[in-house]
């Protein structure tokens, strides 16, 4: 998948205290997870068993919002505040874990939940990896 994330991060003229390649990969994982969660929530609402998927829809919507916000904050580097980025990444990892766990419960019956759970797991790992690399 070709995105503009890495070229934009590489084009940033000032110093970025994070590994630019890892930062770009994390932003891409955040965007992919946000999209997967949004799509999964919508798909859940179309299922005949929608009442059984209420928690899944809620965790999907929360995770999508948190991932989207985190991606936007990580895409801004001027006057960077590591404490804000770290806090958002940690919160995002928690949201991804919760959403991934909830989607995994339904993955056997709903393929959209399986796909979403995988995106959540990948995003959680990317967030944790970026936090671990922060000084």
Query: Where are the domains positioned within the chain?
Result: 19-133
Nearest in space to 89 (alpha carbons), one of 74, 101, 100, 103:
74
Q: How far apart are alpha carbons 24 and 133 in whole angstroms? A: 14
Average pLDDT for 105-127: 98
Share of the chain above pLDDT 90, in %: 92
What is the pLDDT, as a whole number, of residue 1? 59
Q: What is the sign, positive or negative, of the torsion defined by CA atoms of 10, 12, 15, 20?
A: negative
> Is this model's pTM higher than 0.85 or not?
yes
Only one residue has tokens 């630019």, namely 20
- In the chain, what is the greatest distance between 2 CA atoms, to the nearest angstrom? 52
**pLDDT for 9-65, tens place per residue?**
999 999 998 999 999 999 999 999 999 999 999 999 999 999 999 999 999 999 999
Q: What is the sign, positive or negative, of the torsion defined by CA atoms of 67, 88, 119, 106?
A: negative
Q: List C-alpha distances in Å: 82 to 17, 78, 133, 134.
A: 9, 12, 11, 8
Domain covering 19-133 in this structure, CATH number: 1.20.1270.360
């Amino acid at each position: 998948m070709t995105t503009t994330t890495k070229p934009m991060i590489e084009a940033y003229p000032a110093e970025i205290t994070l590994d630019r390649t890892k930062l770009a990969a994390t932003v891409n994982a955040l965007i992919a997870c946000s999209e997967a969660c949004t799509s999964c929530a919508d798909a859940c609402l179309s299922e005949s068993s929608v009442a059984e998927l209420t928690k899944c829809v809620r965790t999907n919507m929360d995770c999508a919002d948190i991932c989207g916000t985190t991606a936007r904050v990580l895409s801004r580097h001027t006057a960077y505040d590591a404490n804000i980025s770290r806090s958002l990444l940690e919160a995002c990892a928690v949201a991804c874990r919760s959403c991934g766990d909830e989607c995994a419960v339904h993955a056997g019956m709903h393929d959209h939940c399986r796909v979403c759970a995988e995106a959540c797991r990948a995003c959680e790992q990317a967030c944790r990896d970026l936090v671990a690399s922060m000084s």
